[in-house]
Amino acid sequence: MASAGDAPSAAPRVVIDVPSWVESATRSRQAYGTDDEKMALVISLARENVDRRTGGPFGAAVFETASGRLVAAGVNSVTRLQNCVLHAEVVAIMLAQHRVRSFTLGPPALPAHELITSCEPCAMCLGVTLYSGVGRVVMAAAREDAMAVGFDEGPVFAESYAYLAERGVTFVRDVKRAESASIIRAYRDAGGPIYNARSTPGPPGPG
């Protein structure tokens, strides 16, 4: 970890990407039929993120709802890029909005979009979901599965879901939950860092 005493650079900027293996993992197929098929992809990204030590045990992707077309995929990148914001959902949504060149995936001019995520969104990601413009969210593991290994999921309440539901977002739970929860536990059992705010960060992982 560098000291905060370094002089500020003239043009500060942050580059957000996914590990290079994500591109090859998603290249073979561009449209997906069922929630189970979409979730199988997202869970495979979570598993590979753990196996390759490129981040936490979470994957997410944005699809066009009607066509099943994959718009963008993300994996948790908090430790790899040393950035607490980069949960899998955030990475997927940022890349999707960049691809369609719109700060919302929900305007009338675009097809409807949905977020498939290997774990229930934390407080931050539920807010991102609201602003993202996706109309549908499908989840595998539950908040309790992430909390069971020590991840802080933040202030999310029944009223939080009611707030998004009132704005037209629908939620589907427990699609392949057990499979995703087992990856989260395996990450913890292998000594993967639980990167909460009061953690002591380790060195960044491989690129």
Site for a second copy in 141-160 (CB under 8 A): 152, 154-155, 157, 159-160
List the interface residues with a second copy, window 157-176 (CB under 8 A). Answer: 157, 159-160, 163-164, 167-168
The H or E element containing residue 8 is none
Closest CB 179 distance from a second copy, rounded Å: 26
* Residue from the set 16, 148, 149, 194 that interacts with a second copy by CB under 8 A: 16
The one segment of 36-44, 105-113, 139-147, 176-184 that binds a second copy by CB under 8 A:
105-113
The neighbour count for residue 40, using CB atoms within 10 Å, is 16
Nearest residue to 115 via CA among 183, 51, 168, 65 = 65
Nearest residue to 17 via CA among 63, 72, 62, 57 = 72
# chain residues binding a second copy, by CB under 8 A: 74
**Token pair listed for 93:** 């949504």
* Cβ distance to a second copy smaller for residue 173 or 178: 173
Q: How far is 170 from 111, CA to CA, in rounded Å?
A: 16
